[in-house]
Amino acid sequence: MTIAPVLIVSLWSCYPKGWPPQRPGYAIHDFAYDAGPYLVRTAPGRMAVVCAHSLASPPTVQWWVRPSKTSTTAPDYHETSAQMHGELWVAELQDLPPDHEVRYAISSELGLLGPFTFRSDRSRSAPFRFAALGDTRSGHQVHRNLIEQLAREDIDFFINSGDLVEFGGDHDQWIQFFNIEAPLISKRPLFASVGNHDNSQRLYFRRFFLRGSHGPNHRYLTQDWGDLRIILLDSEIEIRPGSAQHVFLEKALREGVQQNMLLIISLHYPPYSSGEHGSNPEVRAVLAPLAKKYGVELILAGHDHNYERTHLMDGTTYIVAASGGAPIRRVIPNDFTAEFRTEPHYILFDVSDHRLIGRALNLQGEVFDDFIIEPNPPRAEN
Ligand SMILES: [Fe+2]
């Protein structure tokens, strides 16, 4: 059955000359899928375009790498058919060259949606910007406002330190999450840590972020981007010495030091916090010695629904950025507190000259905290 186009617009100015070939009547629809399209970075040089919807045949992703401004050659156009993984359609785009913009559109019996533009991996030393927020949970209007604001920022990707939804076992909440995130996550991948509210025997977090189907079959992993090594941890499972996650973490840190990368850890439970939950002693006992030993520059956390940045603790900055929608809670600052705030916010990080420049912004776009994180040298032979 052919579904009549809802809205016809001229897409020809969006596409390179001569493409798509011989396809009159190209139409664009609003986000018509139950969820998506959204991006999942599955490996270096790869990006998966994902959507959820009951379809008679697989959607196709049409994509091309935008040539650099000095290039005189025409781009190569590709079509990648999505594969079904449970309820998800996944088209994995591969061999993406670094430091480029990639455009894609997704077509199916619902029509054409796009084009969307995302950034491929950054090469070493390349400057870029990313964002962080957390605890989006149940405050949908705040979550929506933050995402719409972030969608206007010039970022490569964004980090969520956990508690993406209120009840991780409720399928509808994940669909709602991806719908709220659609203006941003259709063009920027999300690097997510799992929070206590995301946990579920139904494994929705794992499924929606393709853990196992297109990457390791657990909820901790590493994402390298330019000079950054971002280590996403699962603070819902064992992390003490001897555990599989601890082995993974120490190996990721050691290799990051050997490659002279800036090290960021993202997890849900905060090692240092002056919020209502407070510092998590078990997590701090594991992470603080490793952060000192390997010279971790930044540890991002959530769980306490406020903003807090610490002074340098043995060279590491600890930040709680977790007012992405969950109820705001009070902060009673400690000696380790450098700055705190109790309102919805996100953080922008500029990575350049091998350091991080951070700015925390509220919903009015006001910068209420700014800081520089310099490289933190490791304290031991590795
Ligand atoms: Fe939490």
pLDDT digits (tens, 9 = 90+) for 298-307: 999 999 999 9
Q: How far is the CA of 215 from the centre of ligand 1 (A)?
A: 25
* CB neighbours of residue 38 within 10 Å: 28
pTM of the model: 0.92
Q: Which pLDDT score is estimated for 217?
A: 78
Question: Is residue 6 a part of any domain in this protein?
Answer: no
Laid out side by side, the sheet with 158-160 consists of: 190-192, 158-160, 128-133, 345-352, 355-362, 367-373
Q: How far is the CA of 304 from the centre of ligand 1 (A)?
A: 7
Is residue 73 over pLDDT 60?
yes
Q: Which pLDDT score is estimated for 163?
A: 97
Same domain, yes or no: 103 and 171: no
- CA distances to 182, 224, 329 from 38, rounded to whole Å, are 7, 20, 31
Instruction: Indicate the residue among 102, 119, 136 that finishes a domain.
Output: 119
Question: Is residue 28 a part of any domain in this protein?
Answer: no
Question: Is residue 67 a part of any domain in this protein?
Answer: yes
Same domain, yes or no: 65 and 106: yes
List the single range of 85-94, 199-208, 327-336 with lowest mean pLDDT. 199-208
Q: How far is the CA of 237 from the centre of ligand 1 (A)?
A: 14
Laid out side by side, the sheet with 60-65 consists of: 77-81, 60-65, 101-108, 111-119
Instruction: Indicate the residue among 71, 98, 119 that finishes a domain.
Output: 119
Q: How far is the CA of 163 from the centre of ligand 1 (A)?
A: 5
pLDDT: which is higher, 26 or 139: 139
Q: Which pLDDT score is estimated for 32?
A: 84
Structure token digits, residue 4: 């009549």
Q: What is the CATH number of the domain that holds 167?
A: 3.60.21.10
Q: What percentage of the chain exceeds 90 in pLDDT?
A: 83
Is residue 26 over pLDDT 80?
no
Q: DSSP characters for 179-215?
A: HHHHHHHTTS-EEE---GGG--TT-HHHHHTTTTTSS
Q: Which pLDDT score is estimated for 12?
A: 41
Instruction: Indicate the residue among 119, 153, 185 that finishes a domain.
Output: 119
Is residue 340 over pLDDT 60?
yes
Q: Which pLDDT score is estimated for 121?
A: 98
Same domain, yes or no: 208 and 260: yes
Asked if 37 and 108 touch (Cβ cutoff 8 Å), the reply is no
Q: How far is the CA of 83 from the centre of ligand 1 (A)?
A: 33
Q: How far is the CA of 332 from the centre of ligand 1 (A)?
A: 18
Task: For 206-233, write each residue's pLDDT tens digit.
Answer: 999 999 888 787 889 999 999 999 999 9
Structure token digits, residue 158: 């964004």
Domain that holds residue 179: 128-373
- CA distances to 169, 207, 360 from 163, rounded to whole Å, are 12, 16, 20
Q: How far is the CA of 281 from the centre of ligand 1 (A)?
A: 15
Q: What is the CATH number of the domain that holds 64?
A: 2.60.40.10
Task: For 56-65, write each residue's pLDDT tens digit.
Answer: 999 999 999 9
- CA distances to 18, 23, 45, 111, 116 from 8, rounded to whole Å, are 19, 13, 34, 10, 17
Same domain, yes or no: 147 and 110: no
